[in-house]
Amino acid sequence: MESNDIWDAETARGYDTPGEGMFAPEVLAPTVDRLVELAGGGRALEFAIGTGRVGVPLAERGVPVTGIELSPAMIGQLRAKVDEAALPVLEGDMTTVRAPGEFQLAYLVFNTISNLLTQEQQVECFRNAARHLVPGGRFVIELWVPELRALPPGRKATVGVVESGYILLDTYDVLNQHVVSHHFTFDETRRARLGRSPHRYIWPAELDLMAQLAGFELESRHADWEGGEFTAESGSHVSVYRLA
């Protein structure tokens, strides 16, 4: 399954859920507040900007934002909100594309580093962030903590979410460090819609090592965008890396 098969026109059309889910003000406001602070008055680069869920409100706060995005369909949705002059986007792969100029901040949110399916690609992503940053610039990653403790020996799947009309089932290939998320959405009929996305999951310590390979050091790790303490029970983290 290639990325552009997943992030196709149908997915792009249905991606935005204004005011709800990942677009809820209680999710987005702290994200944007923290990124404004980390940009420190400089330019920001969003890897995998998608439809501009974060990039558009960040630009509206006065931070000059540039995006890199693989899917033309997702860029098409972003362009319905903001033009190229206000928020330039380069179409291509975040591991290799070079955006013009230098940036104070690069960020990659909503678990998207895991869309890169090999360790080499994930390390290249850090290296590409480093290529864009001024000395002392920051790279921010938002990523979930792999739920390996929910996977007893012999079990190959976990049920992540069960709610009315939606079930998330994750299947694991622990040898290759891959997980495929199966998103089932359904109504009262007998039919369900299945969306699948493959990921390479990363334990925080491995992420830190990837950062080191690209010349970064870990500056902070919190459980959320509001600075909550990261603990052994945290389900995800916001990690800020600083270019040495």
Ligand X SMILES: C[S@@+](CC[C@H](N)C(=O)[O-])C[C@H]1O[C@@H](n2cnc3c(N)ncnc32)[C@H](O)[C@@H]1O
Nearest of 51, 68, 60 to residue 107 by alpha carbon = 68
- Is residue 199 involved in binding ligand X (CB under 6 A)? no
- Is residue 112 involved in binding ligand X (CB under 6 A)? yes
Nearer to ligand X, 50 or 137 (CB): 50
Nearer to ligand X, 80 or 205 (CB): 80
Using H for helix, E for strand and C for coil, what is the string for the chain? CCHHHHCCHHHHHHHCCCCCHHHCHHHHHHHHHHHHHHHCCCCEEEECCCCCCCHHHHHHCCCCEEEEECCHHHHHHHHCCCCCCCCCEEECCCCCCCCCCCEEEEEECCCHHHHCCCHHHHHHHHHHHHHHEEEEEEEEEEEECCCHHHCCCCCCEEEEEEECCEEEEEEEECCCCEEEEEEEEECCCCCEEEEEEEEECCCHHHHHHHHHHCCEEEEEEECCCCCCECCCCCCEEEEEEEEC
- Is residue 74 involved in binding ligand X (CB under 6 A)? yes
Instruction: Tell me the Cα Rg of the chain.
Output: 18
- Is residue 139 involved in binding ligand X (CB under 6 A)? no
Contact status, residue 138 vs residue 243, Cβ threshold 8 Å = yes
Nearer to ligand X, 54 or 59 (CB): 54
- Could you identify the residue written with the tokens 């860029």? 75
Q: Nearest distance from residue 149's CB to ligand X, in Å?
A: 24
> Pattern of binders to ligand X over 30-59, x per CB under 6 A?
------------------xxx--xx-----
- Is residue 238 involved in binding ligand X (CB under 6 A)? no
Residue nearest to ligand X (CB): 50
Q: Nearest distance from residue 7's CB to ligand X, in Å?
A: 3
Q: Nearest distance from residue 189's CB to ligand X, in Å?
A: 28
Nearest of 220, 192, 243, 244 to residue 37 by alpha carbon = 220
- Is residue 115 involved in binding ligand X (CB under 6 A)? yes
Kindly indicate which of the ranges 87-95, 130-138, 144-152, 204-212 contains the residues binding ligand X, using the contact rule CB under 6 A.
87-95
Nearer to ligand X, 152 or 235 (CB): 235
Nearer to ligand X, 48 or 190 (CB): 48
Q: Nearest distance from residue 217's CB to ligand X, in Å?
A: 24
Q: Nearest distance from residue 188's CB to ligand X, in Å?
A: 28
Residue selected from 32, 45, 65, 71 as contacting ligand X according to rule CB under 6 A? 71
Write out the residues near ligand X by the rule CB under 6 A.
3, 7, 48-50, 53-54, 68-71, 74, 93-95, 109-110, 112, 115-116
